[in-house]
Amino acid sequence: MSNARAARPTRRGILAAGGALGLGAALAACGDDDASSSGSPSSAGASAKSGSWTFKDDRGTTVKLDEIPANIVAFTGVGAALYDYGIQVKGVFGPTRTAAGKADVQAGDMDITKVTVLGNVWDEFNVEKYAALTPDVLISTMFDSAGTLWYVPEASKDKIAKLAPSVGVSVYDRQLTAPLQRMWELAESLGADMTAAAVTDAKKKFEDAAARLRAAAKAKPEIKVLAGSASEALFYVSGTNLSIDLEYFKALGVNFIEPPESAKAEGGGWYESLSWENVDKYAADIIMMDDRSSTIQPADITEATWKTLPAVKAGQVIARSPEPILSYAKCVPLLENLAEALEKAKKVS
C-alpha cells in the first residue's frame, strides 16, 4: 500500500489519503500549531540590511548567519515557492522529476535542469551531493508538531543536520493563509523584492479569488464536496481537519463531506481509507482529486464503481493540490478552480 500513510506509527501514513500529504510520501503525523512563533518580516528585513541573517522558524528555532544564505537547499515545493519570489535554490529534495523526465507538479516553474536533485522519492537524499553544495541552510515544510522536516530521511537526518542549519515552515493544522505568510516572510528575509509588481499583483489576485470562492460557496451551500485520492488498492477520503487547503476552503464556506473521526483513526486523523467496492459510501456533487504524481489521476482510474459515481458521470471532478506551492501566484488557481466548479455545479447527490 505505497500510498497509505498511517499517522503516528509510520512516517508513511498521512500522505496517502488525499489527506494532508497524499499518497506517495510520508509523514510523521501531527502538527505544529504555533505559526505565531515565527520571525516577522520587519526583523528579517533588518537583518538582511545589516548583512547578517536571522530567521525564527515554526519550531521556534532561530537561525543566525553572518550573511544572507546563498547556497540554499530546499524541499522541492519550498524551492518552487521561493522561485516565484525570485530566490533560486541550489539543490532540492522531494518529487522533482516525473518518470518521463519532466518537471513534477510540485516543482512549479523551477527549471529543474538548474538545480541539483538530491532525492526524488521518499527516503532518498544524497548526503554526499548535499555536502558538495556547501549548503548555508536547508528549508523544508513540516507536517507534525515534533519539528520533523518533510522528506528529510530519518536514517540520515543527523548527518544532514551537521552540514547546515535548517528552517521549518509548518503546514499542519492551520489555514493556508498562515504558511503563505510565513513563506512571504522567509522570501523577504532572503532578499526577495516583495514590492515587485508580480508579487503584489499575485497577492491581490489571491484575495480576489478568496472572495470569489466565498461568494460561490454562499450561493450554493447545498453542493457537497469530497476530497479524494486514489491508489491501486484504496480510495482515500480526506477530512478538512489538519490540511491547510481544506481548512481554508471550509472557512470560506465550502460544504465538505467529513468522514467521522473513528473512520479516520487509521489515517492519523487525516483520512478514511475505502476499498474501491465502497467508493460510493459518500454522496458528493464535486470531487477534488489529489494531483500529485504519486497518485492515480482520474483519467487513469479504471474501477467501475468510480465511473458510476454521480459527480464523475456529471463531469464534476477537479484537481486538488494537497501540498500547495506556498506562493500566492501558485495558490490563486486553487481557489479559482474550486470557485468555478461550485459556480457551475449541479446537484447530483
Average pLDDT, the chain: 88
Task: Provide CB contacts within 8 A for 281, sequence distance 6+.
Answer: 237, 274
Percent of the chain with pLDDT over 70: 86
pLDDT of residue 267: 84
Encode 37-51: b = buried (16+ Cβ within 10 Å), e = exposed.
Answer: ebbeeeebeebbeee
pLDDT of residue 261: 87
Report CA-CA distances (Å) from 235 to 189, 222, 246, 260: 41, 24, 18, 16
Please check the confidence at residue 4 and state whether its pLDDT lies above 90.
no
Position 51 confidence tier, pLDDT thresholds 50, 70, 90: confident
Per DSSP bridges, beta strands 91-93 and 72-75 are parallel
pLDDT of residue 265: 83
Encode 274-285: b = buried (16+ Cβ within 10 Å), e = exposed.
Answer: bebeebeebebb
Cα(69)–Cα(66) distance, rounded to whole angstroms? 9
Per the structure block, which three cell numbers stand in for 165?
542549519
pLDDT higher at 1 or 47: 47
pLDDT of residue 50: 55
pLDDT of residue 141: 98
Tell me the per-residue pLDDT of 193-204, one tens digit each, with 9 for 90 and over: 999 999 999 999
pTM: 0.88
Cα(348)–Cα(262) distance, rounded to whole angstroms? 27
Rounded to 10 degrees, the C-alpha dihedral 100/92/243/45 comes to -140
Please check the confidence at residue 215 and state whether its pLDDT lies above 90.
yes
Compute how many other C-beta atoms are within 10 angstroms of the C-beta atom of residue 254: 26
Say how many Å lie between the first and final Cα of the chain, rounded. Answer: 30
Tell me the per-residue pLDDT of 87-130, one tens digit each, with 9 for 90 and over: 999 999 999 999 999 999 999 999 999 999 999 999 999 999 99
DSSP 326-338: SSHHHHHHHHHHH
Tell me the per-residue pLDDT of 330-342, one tens digit each, with 9 for 90 and over: 999 999 999 999 9
Q: Within 13 A of 80's CA, how many CA atoms are on the CB side?
A: 26
Tell me the per-residue pLDDT of 270-313, one tens digit each, with 9 for 90 and over: 999 999 999 999 999 999 999 999 999 999 999 999 999 999 99
